[in-house]
């Protein structure tokens, strides 16, 4: 897959010791099956950007350890359907917001990766 080559080359360029996995579009059912391999299961949910009592990505990352395997799900344009949200919630996923704005699908993934990098590589670098 073209994306895997791009991710590999970008990882090598930035001296990463692990190459992130990029999956093709899959059904929510398949996603739930795959999720058993992860310690932290999140999904970006645009409705979280519209409420005052929200779960921020930063707050969630404060409770994640550097050894935890994180699964972040980014929905399609238009977001997850109510039925998909219910299935994700029923299977241990946490809804998070990626800031106060609703991001495009392709931007949300980059935002999430940059936030994780910042949290673990910059905020904790002096710890």
DSSP 8-state assignment for residue 56: B
- How many CA atoms lie less than 13 Å away from 54 in the CB half-sphere? 19
Nearest partner of 80 among 93, 67, 63, judged by Cα: 93
pLDDT at position 26 is 85
Instruction: Look up residue 10 and give its two tokens.
Output: 């970008």
Higher per-residue confidence, 49 vs 78:
78
As beta bridge partners, residue 43 has 73, 95
**Residue 119: CB atoms within 10 Å:** 17
Instruction: Look up residue 107 and give its two tokens.
Output: 């931007």
> pLDDT, tens digit, for every residue of 61-104?
999 998 999 999 988 888 899 999 999 999 999 999 888 788 88
pLDDT at position 125 is 58
pLDDT at position 124 is 66
Distances (CA, A) of 92 to 2, 56, 102: 31, 17, 23
Q: What's the predicted TM-score (pTM) here?
A: 0.79
pLDDT at position 49 is 62
Task: Categorize the per-residue pLDDT at 20 as very low, low, confident or very high, splitting at 50, 70 and 90.
Answer: confident
């Amino acid at each position: 897959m073209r994306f895997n080559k791009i991710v590999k080359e970008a990882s090598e360029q930035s001296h990463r010791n692990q190459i992130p996995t990029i999956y093709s579009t899959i059904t929510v059912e398949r996603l739930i099956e795959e999720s058993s391999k992860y310690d932290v299961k999140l999904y970006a949910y645009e409705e979280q950007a519209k409420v005052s009592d929200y779960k921020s990505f930063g707050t969630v990352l404060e409770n994640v350890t550097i050894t935890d395997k994180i699964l972040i799900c980014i929905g399609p344009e238009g977001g997850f359907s109510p039925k998909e949200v219910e299935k994700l919630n029923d299977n241990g996923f946490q809804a998070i917001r990626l800031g106060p704005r609703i991001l495009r699908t392709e931007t949300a993934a980059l935002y999430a990766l940059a936030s994780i990098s910042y949290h673990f590589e910059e905020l904790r670098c002096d710890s």
